[in-house]
Structure 1
Amino acid sequence: MIPKVMPPLADLTVLVTRPAPQAAVLCEEIGRQGGTAIAFPAVEIVAQTAEIASGHDLIIFASVNAVAHGVHLIEKSPTARVAAIGRATAAALAQTSLRADIVPEAGFDSEALLAHPDLTLASGARVLIVRGIGGRELMRDTFTARGMIVETREVYQRVRPTIDPATRDALEVRWDSEGIDVVTATSIETLHNLIGMLSDRGRTLLAKTPLLVASRRIAEAAQAAGLNGMMLVANGADDASMIGAMARWRTRARVA
């Protein structure tokens, strides 16, 4: 008899905290891999009005949402290069009229992009950073220090969603009675919002539940917030990296 192949995420219940449109995609993939996904968006993306941008030598997209809300503002010259902060952002660009010329091989933050060997420009070059309101200033400061002319287009804002107490309570009752195996967090802001959206009961449950994060920076922020339980660190924030980290963890748990 041929043994039945068990899906990699079989019997795994995952709390997905991405913004709603992206949460839906990840939840669907978790289901295809045999798991059960519960969408609980801890960040809401609000589009912002920004001006058309043109005449830049390098255009950097700092997130998937920067692509979704900013790509229509870009007038790219034939010689301009486009950089994506990570694989998920590059994949989002691939669905548009632009393509990423520069993508970090590992990581998805400013440090990873700035370390890319092809990210070289002469002093005086014009750089555009497409991002959300309140983004980190490391890239702007670094390029400015190198003598480049840096502009930004802040095309969206991240806000904490308003949560209906009944919805929150229903989640926490289900969490307490049936269990959640892992909680995802793909940004520090998402993590902090989640902590703020839960009640004391929910925060106690969160502290005892394995947390899957997309970088060491998020893991350190979680520990600073008092979440000292099991921490899983994915290779990136894209769906494939998050699913892969969960699958590897699940496989190790079954073997053990």
Structure 2
Amino acid sequence: MIPKVMPPLAELTVLVTRPASQAAGLCEQIQQKGATAIAFPAVEIEPVTAAVASGHDLIIFVSVNAVAHGVHLIEKSPTARVAAIGKATAAALKQTSLPADIVPEAGFNSEALLAHPDLTLPDGAKVLIVRGSGGRELMQESFSARGLVVETLDVYRRVRPTIDDATRDALETRWQNEGIDVVTATSIETLHNLIGMLSDRGRALLRETALLAASRRIADAAAEAGWNGTLIVANGADDASMIGALANWRTRARAA
């Protein structure tokens, strides 16, 4: 008799904290691999008013949301290049008139993009970073140090969703009685929002639950917040990287 093969994420319950508009795909993939996915958005994306931008030699999109809310504001010259911070952002750009010329092979963060061998520009070249309000300053500072003229275009902001007590209590009761094995976090804001959205009971449960973080920065922020659960670090915030990291962790846990 051929032994039954268990799905890679069988018997796991995963709390997905992506924005409501972006959670469905990740939840579906988690469930296809045998786990239970619970959508609990801990961040909302709101567009902000921004002006049309033109005259840049390099245009960088730092997220899928930057593409969704910013691509229509870009007037690109024929010689300008477009960079995406990761594969998900590049995939979003592919659906527009501004496909990415530069994408990191791995890492999918500011550091990986800055290290890309094709990311070279002459002194005085103009760089535009399309991002959300309050984004990291690493790229801006690094490009400025290289002698480039850097501008940022903030096209969205992240806000904490408003939930009623009944919704929060229902989640926490389910968490307490049936368990949640893993919580996702694709940004530090998402992590902090989630902590703020829960009651003392929920925060106690959260600290003991494994965290699937989209970067080492997010995992470090969780550790600073007193996290006691396992920290699982993915190579990026795209669905494939998150699922891959979760599946690898699950395989190692079963073998232990």
- Report if TM-score (shorter chain) is over 0.5: yes
Structure 2-normalised TM-score? 0.96
- Asked if structure 1 preserves the Cα contact closer than 8 Å seen for 2:109 and 2:236, the reply is no
Equivalent-residue separation in structure 2 for 1:92 and 1:35 (angstroms): 27
Equivalent-residue separation in structure 1 for 2:136 and 2:209 (angstroms): 29
One-letter amino acid of the structure 2 residue matched with residue 95 of structure 1: Q
Deviating runs (4+, > 3 A) in structure 1? none
Equivalent-residue separation in structure 1 for 2:32 and 2:54 (angstroms): 42
TM superposition shift of 1:171: 0.2
TM superposition shift of 1:205: 0.4
Partner of 2:239: 239
Q: How does 1:8-157 map onto structure 2 within 5 Å?
A: 8-157=8-157
Equivalent-residue separation in structure 2 for 1:230 and 1:4 (angstroms): 28
- What runs of 5+ residues in structure 2 fail to find an aligned partner? none
Percent of residue pairs identical: 80
Equivalent-residue separation in structure 1 for 2:8 and 2:149 (angstroms): 48
Give a deviation string over 1:85-118, Cα, whole Å, max 9, x none: 1122112112222211111122122222111111
Partner of 2:212: 212
Equivalent-residue separation in structure 1 for 2:34 and 2:76 (angstroms): 42
Partner of 2:185: 185
Aligned residue pairs total 256
Give a deviation string over 1:1-45, Cα, whole Å, max 9, x none: 333332211221100011111111111111111111101111110
- What runs of 5+ residues in structure 1 fail to find an aligned partner? none
Moved more, 90-99 or 220-229: 90-99
Partner of 1:248: 248
One-letter amino acid of the structure 2 residue matched with residue 252 of structure 1: R
- Asked if structure 1 preserves the Cα contact closer than 8 Å seen for 2:209 and 2:228, the reply is no
One-letter amino acid of the structure 2 residue matched with residue 216 of structure 1: R
Taking only aligned residues, the RMSD between alpha carbons, in angstroms, comes to: 1.2
One-letter amino acid of the structure 2 residue matched with residue 146 of structure 1: R
